Amino acid sequence: MKKENQLKQAYEIAKERYAELGVDVDSAIENMKKISLSLHCWQTDDVVGFENQGGPLTGGIQVTGNYPGRARNIDEVRTDIEKVTSLIAGKHRLSLHEIYGDFQGKVVDRDEVEPKHFQSWMEWAKEKELKLDFNSTSFSHPKSGNLTLANPDDSIRNFWIEHTKRCRWISEEMGKFQNDPSIMNLWIHDGSKEVPASRLKYRQILEQSLDEIFSTPYEHMKDCIEAKLFGIGLESYTVGSYDFYLGYGAKKGKIVTLDTGHFHLTESVADKISSLLLFTPEIMLHVSRPIRWDSDHVVILNDDLLDLTREIIRSNALDRIHVGLDYFDATINRIGAYVVGCRATQKAFLRALLEPSATLQKYEANDQYFERLALQEELKSLPWTAVWDQYCLQNGVPVGEDYIADIKKYEKEVTSKR
CA-CA distance, 33 to 36, in Å (whole number)? 7
- State the pLDDT at residue 48: 85
CA-CA distance, 202 to 288, in Å (whole number)? 28
Domain that holds residue 341: 2-417
pLDDT of 359 > 70? The answer is: yes
Give me the percent of the chain exceeding a pLDDT of 90: 84
More confident residue, 8 or 83: 83
What confidence category does residue 292 fall into, taking pLDDT thresholds of 50, 70 and 90?
confident
- State the pLDDT at residue 212: 98
pLDDT of 243 > 70? The answer is: yes
Look over the chain and give the mean of its residue pLDDT values, rounded to a whole number: 93
The tens digit of pLDDT for each residue in 22-73 reads 999 999 999 998 899 999 999 998 888 888 655 677 877 777 888 999 999 9
- State the pLDDT at residue 54: 54
The tens digit of pLDDT for each residue in 369-415 reads 999 999 999 999 999 999 999 999 999 999 999 999 999 999 999 99
CB atoms within 10 A of CB 383: 18
CATH at residue 391? 3.20.20.150
Q: What is the number of domains present in the chain?
A: 1
The Cα-based distances of 104 to 99, 101, 113, 378, 401 in angstroms read 13, 9, 13, 56, 39
- State the pLDDT at residue 53: 55
Alpha carbons within 13 A on the beta-carbon side of 126: 13
Cβ contacts of 170 within 8 Å, gap of 6 or more: 98, 113, 114, 115, 117, 118, 134
What confidence category does residue 231 fall into, taking pLDDT thresholds of 50, 70 and 90?
confident
Q: Are 161 and 209 in contact (CB under 8 A)?
A: yes
What confidence category does residue 298 fall into, taking pLDDT thresholds of 50, 70 and 90?
very high
CA-CA distance, 146 to 9, in Å (whole number)? 58
Mean pLDDT throughout 71-87? 95
The tens digit of pLDDT for each residue in 270-281 reads 999 999 999 999
Active site amino acids: 187, 226, 228, 259, 262, 286, 294, 296, 326
Long-range contacts of residues 357-364, Cβ cutoff 8 Å, at least 24 apart: 357/313, 357/314, 358/22, 359/21, 359/22
**In sequence order, which ranges of 233-333 are alpha helices (DSSP H)?**
242-252, 270-279, 303-314
